[in-house]
Amino acid sequence: MSGGSDGLPFPRRGWAILTLALGLAMAVLTGTLANLALPTISREFQVSASEAIWVANAYQLSVTMTLLPLASLGERYGYRRVYLWGLVVFTAASGACALAQTMPQLVGARVLQGLGAAGVMSVNTALIRFIYPSAQLGRGVGYNAMIGGTCSALGPSLASAILAVADWHMLFAVNLPLGALALAIGWRALPETPLGAERFDPGSAALNAAFFGLLILGIDGLGHGQSPFAVGLELVGAVVVGVALVWRQLPQSKPLLPVDLFRRPMFALSVAASVCSFAAQSMAFTSLPFLLMHEMGKSQTETGILMTPWSAAMALTAFFAGGLSDRFSPAVMGALGQAGLCLGLVLLALAGSQGAPGWVFLVVPMVVCGVGFGLFNSPNNRTIMASAPRSRSGGASGMQATSRLLGQTIGSALVAMLFNLYPAGGASLVLVVAAGFSVGAGVLSLFRPRGGG
């Protein structure tokens, strides 16, 4: 049975939603779970910290370089097929990660795991368009945003809990039963979607991978002290390859890099707002543990407890904001959400300058930040999808996931750069800069055209 404009009937819709939730949760969590185990992996394999970081970088690069090509495959051969094959590759690669005995084996398995995760994330939001009725698109996107945002925020805490009772191998092995369950449900529940007549373009896929690979390496190098010459080469290379990619895409009716969608102001501004917003959140999540533990003297447990209200408020707000965006202006909701995020970040920065403020002066801004981000993210994701034709759902879905990863990459690189430049009090400065990114996201959101397109 295919999903149409009225979506899937119950109870099949519920099972399809569960499949998307399981796949997205695994893909997002795996991106953060391994980070906490990097020191242990470094010791076990007797490699340097700079070598161990490739356990994280290999996954991130693999995901970002293949998101748009896999979304393009989904438009041509069906989103269901790409999603299920993504689950197969991701689950098998998770087993390979858990069994890895050397660093090259682990890094290679992480590349494959990233490829599988990209298959899941690239078409996740596109499938929502065929699972939910058109009038409830915001509700479906809101649920998706709740899962993705919550998993991203809770990843470090969950990793700590797993590592408290098991070694790092379990961080990957936990995906095996979850992946098998998602496959079993998804095989029966996910809808068939229309197939495209256009041929897949391997040349564009290669240019896309080179562009995003060079761009991420350059951005990451800026934050981690790579030589200016190497960073310059990477960024110049990204520009050259990017120009060639865009030139190749312009005459195509359904380009892999959705330049046709970027001609729509609603889509372009929403993607730019997403990059800014996720950069702000990434900067906050990366710097807050340093602020709370190093500058305020909080313990690791206290830090986890203090950051939990952000995650909880974000998850709850994202779910309800998605449904509200079906009835109210996503532009206004997004601007209000970013105003809240900006206010919360400024309050946290001010609290950092006071030394050791009371818990209420930390918890309240955390809640404000979570509510603000949730109020923005679901309506913004809905706008990205709704501003694209139904036949271009794959391109919009892939770009939505890519904007999140780009924002997180930019945010983490800026944190590293600012910490290197300002070792003392750097966390508070990071939060102020993050507030600036939030203002940018709010302005982009507010000035989107009201009538669509």
pLDDT in tens, 117-142: 999 999 999 999 999 998 899 889 88
Contact 94, 179 (CB under 8 A): yes
Whole-number pLDDT of residue 356: 67
| Beta carbons within 8 Å of 286's beta carbon, 6+ residues apart | 411, 412, 415, 430
- For residue 253, what is the DSSP state? S
- Helix (H), strand (E) at residue 224: none
What is the identity of the amino acid at 165? Answer: V
**Is the per-residue pLDDT at 225 higher than 80?**
no
Distance CA 259, CA 407 (A): 19
Sign of CA dihedral 76, 79, 84, 89: positive
Give the mean model confidence (pLDDT) for residues 155-164.
80
Whole-number pLDDT of residue 2: 57
- For residue 255, what is the DSSP state? -
- Helix (H), strand (E) at residue 231: helix 228-249
Distance CA 343, CA 115 (A): 37
What distance lies between CA 436 and its chain's CA centroid?
A: 20
The per-residue pLDDT of the chain, averaged, comes to 91
Whole-number pLDDT of residue 452: 47
421 φ, ψ to 5°? -75, -35
Closest CA to 132 of 241, 17, 254, 291: 17
Give the mean model confidence (pLDDT) for residues 260-287.
95
Contact 182, 22 (CB under 8 A): yes
Distance CA 151, CA 175 (A): 14
Contact 218, 235 (CB under 8 A): yes
Looking at the DSSP bridge assignments, the partners of residue 4 are 7
Helices and strands of the chain, counted as H and E runs: 18, 0
Distance CA 388, CA 40 (A): 45
**Is the per-residue pLDDT at 453 higher than 50?**
no
Distance CA 443, CA 280 (A): 14
Distance CA 41, CA 283 (A): 25
Task: Choose the most confident range, by mean pLDDT, from 153-167, 277-291, 354-368.
Answer: 277-291
Domains 1-200 and 257-453 share a fold: yes
Distance CA 343, CA 352 (A): 14
Give domain limits for the chain. 1-200, 202-251, 257-453
Contact 120, 381 (CB under 8 A): no
**Is the per-residue pLDDT at 76 higher than 70?**
yes
Q: What is the pTM for the complete model shown?
A: 0.90
Per-residue pLDDT tens over the stretch 31-51: 778 877 888 898 899 998 778
Per-residue pLDDT tens over the stretch 282-307: 999 888 888 888 888 888 678 878 88
* CATH C-level class of 257-453: mainly alpha
2 φ, ψ to 5°? -95, 150
Whole-number pLDDT of residue 448: 87
Helix (H/G/I), strand (E/B), else coil: 7? strand
Q: Cα dist. 152→33, 58, 134, 275, 277 in Å?
A: 9, 18, 27, 15, 14
What is the CATH architecture of 1-200? Up-down Bundle (1.20)
Strand residue runs (E) in 158-274: none
